Chain A
Amino acid sequence: MKKFNKALSAVVASAMVLSMAACGGNAADSNSQAASSAAGSNTEQSGTGAAFVIGGIGPLTGGAAIYGTAAMNGAQIAVDEINAAGGINGAQIKFLKEDDQHDPEKSINAYNSLKDQGMQILMGTVTSTPCVAVADKTAADGMFELTPSASSTDVIVNDNVFQVCFTDPNQGAKSAEYISDKKLATKIGIIYDSSDVYSSGIKDTFVKMAPEKGLEIVAEEAFTADSKTDFSTQLQKCQSAGAELVFMPFYYTEASIVLTQANGMGYAPIFFGVDGMDGILGAENFDTKLAEGLYMLTPFAADATDEATVKFVDAYQKSYGETPIQFAADAYDAIYIIKAAIEQANVTPDQSVKEIGDALKSTITTIKYDGITGSNMTWDASGEVSKAPMAIIIKDGAYASVE
């Protein structure tokens, strides 16, 4: 019994430490809180009384916090800009955000909590799996939902949900197409996260498309969320199979380790990533020289010189002191797309959630939007966005467009 109690107390103590750890890494967010509360009080003063209440859900704590925080920051910038310019048809926007810790169950709690606070339109959720769960709830309530970055196709099964980002299959197919069109390589090695919806979703279509495009897949190596610190086995398999290009459909944190280890073993194929790779130059403890020549297919480049992007990047750097990643750009666009749809549909804040939802979901298919994550964005009733992907290569320590 004594031993048992000892083991038990050790376990319980570690549980407490873990739950404490879950709230770490959020110092930067207190800024945004201050900014948003300031914006909130502005809204109440200058608004004509009624305001559109837009809710945002994303992981603000936990392992995926970087994506959720970036998305909420990006959305906040858009909201502040719109409010400063007089709102949507004269009505201000009230933006609320809730944390879901990248967990479907918590995400539904966040959704219900936002509903209690009067949310009329949902900009979220940021990650796919929670989004699938929440999409069913918004469908039941008839609420319009626009997700900035949940890219799984399961997200948009309901007719009230639309995406700003590409779907996973779309990214896989476009990557295969791009590699074959540009004749980058024919022997492909793939490393992917088999425990992640996003990563395996892209991989599945890539593998399906590859034979059609004349690509030969020589190695297909998986890792999981529990074993993402050592990739030497996967790299060795790619190397011995003679892969000329390694396709990496996962996030930049793991990619930075892959690149470091590949360099250590003297393996230098072409590395090719998708939109999760965006942000690699800001990865911690990573020698950015190793990313030289890395391709990625992403809709957003922070160094693009068009006016809209420059304005957004400047505003983001001023408010949050860092270069925005693609998630921030997606969310920024999402708010403006909601604005465009509201203006087109001519809805007003005093209408019910369902009325606004019905009006917006039929209107969004008629609008055409030019944003920082793509120009000529259009939607069909399925909820999928149509826009051109952009290839970026890392050159001289910076993101540069390939063309």
Chain B
Amino acid sequence: MRKLNLKTMKKTTREELITFAMVILVYIVMQILLKTGHVSSLLEGLLVPMCVYSLVAIGLNLCVGYLGELSLGHAGFMCVGAFTGAFVSKLLRDSVQSDLLLFLLALAAGIIMASVFGFLIAVPVLRLKGDYLAIVTLAFGEIIKNIVNVLYVAKDDGGIHFAFSDPKKMNFDDSNGIWLINGAKGINRIPNLSGFTIGIVMILVALFLVYNLVNSRSGRAIMAIRDNNIAAESVGINITKYKLMAFTVSAAIAGAGGVLYAHNLSTVTATPTNFGYNMSIMILVFVVLGGMGSLRGSVISAVLLTLLPEVLRGLKDYRMLIYSIVLIAMMLFNWAPKSIEWRKRIAGKLQKTKEIKKEEA
């Protein structure tokens, strides 16, 4: 798909720089607006969620856009990251004083756990393709959600107690200890360690990582597998290895998004709305709308689609309807062949008038 000569390489570098510049510019503008008090509470509260969804969309884009495998389980990886991260920060709250250090520990734990799960899932799952892979990852997401709902972990002077599905067996008394994970009640009172700056830094790191990966030798191998499995194998690319690599990195980034998500809310529970397949599909919509294989597109569409339903609050009950219609319209505008043709024609005309003007001048 992509020609790898020097000219296009330069173009990708330019594209990357534009993406980084865009994220940094948004950050600076928002910071100025925040400092001068021009941001509504609603928008201020949305800054971290926008970072979360951008992150997860970047992760999923690596899997869907570059590796070409459809995953519907990314909410599951987010869930793993969120619960591991929240668990660690709650466990270590008393012993670690620095907020940043605590968050980094939680982040590391969340990323490691999500990538371990990503790897374990990927080993059997990546033998499947297309629809089958989508179904298995979907099932994985649901399994994670249900396991978390029957997991009980508590801490008291006697150490850490742990049980599956039956908290009575733990012989833990909540009068002299605290619940870390309390079944369906999830994790409560998570220290609020996230922030807009942390979110932006995480996005920048994720962008840097993914751009470097896809432009490296490994990345070219990953895209070769996407474009033609058999051809890639015939030239000696180790398909399993590269698939595993892309899928695991993708899961790890989703896990990082989950850690950020958990530390922005003081409670995390695994319900169908936040870690169910609806969320997986929502993230997929971000990726598809922004363009598969375009990280900048993913970030932009994640931000827009997170903002949209909240900005439309003024429309009361109609907002979800309008949201859906806007989604359809945007999808058509971006991806319908006729619309692409039309956009090209308009762009061509603009180019022409510019040239004519230049000539006239």
Contacts and interface: CB of A to CB of B under 8 A. Distances in A.
Interface stretch (A17-25, A73-81, A314-322, A357-365): A17-25
A21 B113 CA distance: 34
Contacts of A101: 273
B285 A12 contact: yes
- Interface size range on A against B: 35 or more
A239 interface: no
A112 B40 contact: yes
Given A15-B281, A133-B265, A154-B267, A103 B41 contact: no
Contacts of B273: 62, 101-103
Contact of A129 (B146, B271, B282, B331): B271
Interface in A24-67: 26, 29-30, 33, 60-62
A225 B271 CA distance: 8
Contacts of A16: 324, 327-328
Nearest to B44: A112
B130 A7 contact: yes
A20 B268 CA distance: 26
A204 B167 contact: yes
Given A12-B288, A225-B271, A109 B46 contact: yes
A135 B267 CA distance: 10
Most buried by A among B64, B72, B265, B321: B265
Interface residues of B, number: 60
Contacts of A366: none
B42 interface: yes
Given A14-B281, A101-B273, A197-B185, A4 B317 contact: no
Given A4-B130, A109-B45, A133-B266, A33 B282 contact: no
Interface string A97-109: 0110111110011
A60 B317 contact: yes
A152 B185 contact: yes
A183 interface: no
A217 B319 CA distance: 47
Nearest to A208: B168
Contacts of A199: 184
A197 B324 CA distance: 30
Given A103-B274, A200-B185, A225-B272, A194 B42 contact: no
A29 B319 CA distance: 14
A113 B42 CA distance: 5
A18 B278 contact: yes
Nearest to A222: B165
B94 interface: no
Given A11-B281, A15-B285, A16-B324, A195 B130 contact: no
A154 B320 contact: no
A293 B60 CA distance: 53
Q: Is the interface of A mostly helix, strand, loop or mixed?
A: helix
A253 to B, nearest CB: 15
B297 interface: no
Contacts of B183: 194, 200
Interface string B139-151: 0001000100110
B16 interface: no
A201 interface: yes
Contacts of B320: 19-20, 22-23, 61
A351 to B, nearest CB: 19
B241 interface: no
A16 B72 CA distance: 15
A355 interface: no
B131 to A, nearest CB: 5
A388 interface: no
Interface in B66-123: 68, 70, 72
A245 interface: no
B324 A12 contact: no
Most buried by A among B167, B189, B320: B320
12 contacts: A8-B288, A12-B285, A12-B288, A23-B318, A23-B319, A112-B41, A113-B310, A115-B41, A132-B188, A194-B149, A197-B185, A225-B272
Interface of A: 1, 3-4, 7-8, 11-12, 14-16, 18-20, 22-23, 26, 29-30, 33, 60-62, 98-99, 101-105, 108-113, 115-116, 129, 132-133, 135-136, 152, 154, 157, 193-197, 199-201, 204, 207, 222, 224-226
Given A104-B265, A112-B40, 10 more contacts: A8-B70, A19-B327, A23-B321, A61-B320, A105-B265, A112-B45, A129-B271, A132-B188, A132-B267, A207-B168
